[in-house]
Structure 1
Amino acid sequence: MDATDLVRELGLRADSQRLRGDVEFLADRPRSRMREPEAMRRAEAYVTRELAAAGWRTERQPFDVRWRLGSADRPGSRAVALGLRLHRRLAGANLVARLPGGDSRPTVIVGAHLDTVDGSPGADDNASGVAALLEVARLLGALPQQPAVTLMIFDMEELGMIGSRVAARRARRAGRRVAGMICLESVGCFATGPGTQRMPPGFARAFPAVAAEVRSSGRRGDFTLVVHRRSTAPAAALWRHAAKSMDPPLPVVTLRDPRPDGPLGALIGLAVPPMNHLGRSDHASFWNAGIPALMLTNTANFRNPNYHRPTDTPDTLDYARLTTVSVATATTAVSWPAN
C-alpha cells in the first residue's frame, strides 16, 4: 500500500473526538514530576491504559540522574533558548510502548513529552502531542501487519529534555537499530487570521526562504512546521505529502536545520542563536545522539498566546487539524523512507 492509500485508510479510522477526549483528560491540571507528582501518576496511568486498549505493551523506564544541565520550568509566554539551570538530582520515568511480537527491523520512534511547566495545564504543550501519539497507537495497532514502530512518552522535557536525553542514550546503546524519530511538540494550536504567525529575531536572515513562505501566506498560523536535517529530509517530504493528501489538506512548512547530527550540531547552535529554536524539544536529544529525527510543531510561543500559561486549555485547540497531524505521523512512521 502506498502512502496516499494509507493516508486515505487511516483518515477514515481517525477520530477527532477521541483526540479531544485525550486532551481534556490530560489537560485538566498541570503535570510535573517535581511539582505535581500525583497528576503525573494519573496521566501516566491514563496513557498506559489507552496504549493497552490499542494493543501496545508499555514498559515504565525509571531514571535517576545527578548534576544535569537543563532549564527551569517557569510559567510565562516568553521562551528563553538558553535559560540554563544545573539540576542536582532528578528522578523520573519514561514510558516505552511496543506491539507484541516485534521483529528485528529498524524501528521508528514516535515521541511526545507528558509534563508541563509550573501552573499550566498544557493542552497544546503538550497534551496535544501525547493525544496525537495515542491516536497513532490506535491507528497502527489496527493494521493487519505489525509496523516497526516504538512509542515513547518522555518525562521532564520542560526541565531541559531530561527524559529524552536518557531515552536517546538507551536507544543508541540498544541492539536494535533506530531508523529515525518523530517528535510531536505543541501540535494542536492553529490560527487562520492574518498576522497570527510570528518569527524569532534573526530568523528571516538565517532562513530567508522559509520566512518568505510564511510571509506569502499573510503570516497565518494555519500550518504545521516540520523541522528536519539532511538525514530526515525524505521523511519530512513524506510527512508533508501525507498531510496535503488529507481532505481538507493541511498546510505544511518544512525547514531544514543545516547542522549535522551528533554533538557538533549542538555546539554550532551556541554560535548561531536562531538555531537554538530548532532544538527546543525532545528530537534534539536524538539529534545529539546521532539518531535521525524530525520535529512537528505549531511553533509554540510564536503562534500560541497561551503558551506556558494557565490559559493553555483544551478549548483553544483545533481537533480536526490535530487529527490530520496524527494520520500524517502514523503514515510517515509506517512508511519511513530509507536514505
Structure 2
Amino acid sequence: MATRAVDLVRAWEPPVAADRLRRHVEVLAAGPRSRRHAPRAMADAETYVTAALRSAGWQVRRQPFDVRWRVGATDRPGNRAIALKARVHPRLRGANLIATLPGAGTGPAVVLGAHLDTVQGSPGADDNASGVAVLLESAHLLATLPDAPPVVLAVFDMEELGLIGSRHAVRALGRERSIRGMVCLESVGFFSEEEGSQRLPGGFSAVFPAAASATRDAGLRGNFTLVVHRRSSAEAAVAWQRAAAQTAPALPGILLRDPRPDGLLGALAGLAVPPANHLGRSDHAPFWNAGIPALMLTGTANFRNPAYHRPADTSDLLDYPRLAAVTAATAATVAAWAALPEA
C-alpha cells in the first residue's frame, strides 16, 4: 500500500493547488456554521460543498437524520475537558453529505470524511474548513485516476455536538456496503515552526512515549501532522507518512498508535486510560467502535492552535502549501487502500 501511495503522490497531474484550498477555506469560514445556531450559513456551506463535489464528477446525495435522546457534547466555545462537555440531546435533526464516483467498484469502500459544522461563535477555519477543503481537493485528484476507486466521501454534520452525524453515517453506510477503512480529516491546516508551539496532553508521555519523544526531538514545533491509528490501520498510517514525505514541501507525519482494539471494548478501555480519550475526539471514533479500521489526521487542535474553538480561528492563520501536502498524501493513501484486493 505504501509503495502505491508514494507512486501516486509523485505522479499526480495536475498537482494540488494551494490557492484552491485557500478559496474553499475562505468561503466556508466566512462565519460560524451550525444547524442549530447558524442554520443559514450551514445551508450555504452545504450548497457550496455539494456544488464543488459535483463539479469534480462525484454523485452527491443528502443523508438526513432525526435522532432523539443522544448522549453527546455541548458546542459552546472553549477548551474544557471532554468529561465536562457531556450533554444529552432530546432531539437533533441534521444531514450528512455522501458522495461516490460513477463507475466505481462495488467492493469494500474506503470512507474519507470531515465535519462541516463549527462551535458557536467560531468561523472554524482550521476546525474544520481545513478538513473539508482537503476532502474537496482530494475529490479532484481521485477523479483523475483511470479506474474509479471504491471511495465514499462523507461530509459530516454535528461533530461538535458529539459525533452525531458520523454515528449515524457509519450505521447507514454499513447497511449499504462493506467498509474497508476510514480516514478522518480533523483540524489539519494550522502549522508552526516556533519552538515550543506544540503542547502535549497531561499523561501523554507516559502512555505514548514514542510519539512524545518524536515531538520533543523536533523542538516541540507544530510543523507535522499527527497520524492516529490502531493496529488494524497501521499499514494505512505508514502509507500516509511515506506519501507525505514525498510531497513538496515534504510534510513530517508522526505516527501515534492507539493501543485499544476496535469495537466496544476499545471504547470502554478509554475509561481506564484517560489520555487515550483524546485520540477519539473526531468522526473516526464511531468507525472504530463499529470495528472498522480508521485513521485520524490532525494538527492536534487545541494542543497547537491557540485559536481553536474561538472567533480567531480564521482563514489567514492556515498554511496552504502544507495543506496541499496533506491533500496529496491523503488522496494517495485513500486510493491505495481502496485498491487493495478483497480479503
Shift of 1:283: 0.2
In structure 2, the residue corresponding to 1:169 is in which secondary structure? helix
Q: Deviations over 1:18-61 (max 9, x none)?
A: 00000000001000000011111000000000000000010000
Provide the aligned length of Structure 1 versus Structure 2.
Answer: 337
Q: Which amino acid aligns with 1:267?
A: L
Which consecutive unaligned segments of at least 5 residues does structure 1 have? none
Q: TM-score, normalised by structure 1?
A: 0.97
Given that 2:5 and 2:335 are in contact with CA atoms closer than 8 Å, whether structure 1 keeps it comes out as: no
In structure 2, the residue corresponding to 1:2 is in which secondary structure? helix
Runs ≥4 residues deviating over 3 A: none
Q: Deviations over 1:87-122 (max 9, x none)?
A: 000000000000112322111100000000000000
Given that 1:11 and 1:327 are in contact with CA atoms closer than 8 Å, whether structure 2 keeps it comes out as: no
Shift of 1:12: 4.4
Q: Does 1:334 align with 2:332?
A: no
Which consecutive unaligned segments of at least 5 residues does structure 2 have? none
Q: What is aligned with 1:264? A: 265
Aligned partner of 1:147 among 149, 155, 170: 149
Q: Which amino acid aligns with 1:91?
A: R
- Structure 1 segment 49-60 matched on structure 2, within 5 A: 49-60=51-62
Q: What is aligned with 1:193? A: 194
Q: Does 1:251 align with 2:245?
A: no
Moved more, 78-87 or 274-283: 78-87
Given that 2:5 and 2:240 are in contact with CA atoms closer than 8 Å, whether structure 1 keeps it comes out as: no
- Structure 1 segment 87-98 matched on structure 2, within 5 A: 87-98=89-100
Q: Does 1:71 align with 2:73?
A: yes
Aligned partner of 1:10 among 9, 12, 30: 12
Shift of 1:246: 1.2
Shift of 1:81: 1.7
Q: Deviations over 1:242-297 (max 9, x none)?
A: 00011221011000000011111111101211011000000001101111111000
In structure 2, the residue corresponding to 1:13 is in which secondary structure? coil
Given that 1:11 and 1:246 are in contact with CA atoms closer than 8 Å, whether structure 2 keeps it comes out as: no
Aligned partner of 1:134 among 110, 117, 136: 136
Q: Which amino acid aligns with 1:116?
A: T
Q: Does 1:62 align with 2:64?
A: yes
Question: 1:153 & 1:230 partners in 2: Cα distance?
Answer: 26
Q: Deviations over 1:201-232 (max 9, x none)?
A: 11111111111111111000000000000000
Q: Deviations over 1:145-178 (max 9, x none)?
A: 211111000000000000000001112222x211
Q: What is aligned with 2:108? A: 106
Question: 1:227 & 1:11 partners in 2: Cα distance?
Answer: 28
Question: 1:255 & 1:307 partners in 2: Cα distance?
Answer: 21
Question: 1:314 & 1:167 partners in 2: Cα distance?
Answer: 28
- Structure 1 segment 196-215 matched on structure 2, within 5 A: 196-215=197-216
Q: What is aligned with 1:308? A: 309
Q: Which amino acid aligns with 2:276?
A: M
In structure 2, the residue corresponding to 1:193 is in which secondary structure? coil
Q: Which amino acid aligns with 2:67?
A: V
Moved more, 123-132 or 5-14: 5-14
Q: What is aligned with 1:320? A: 321
- Structure 1 segment 219-230 matched on structure 2, within 5 A: 219-230=220-231
Q: What is aligned with 1:36? A: 38
Q: What is aligned with 2:284? A: 283
Q: What is aligned with 1:172? A: 174
In structure 2, the residue corresponding to 1:335 is in which secondary structure? helix
In structure 2, the residue corresponding to 1:91 is in which secondary structure? strand
Q: Which amino acid aligns with 1:148?
A: P
Question: 1:259 & 1:178 partners in 2: Cα distance?
Answer: 20
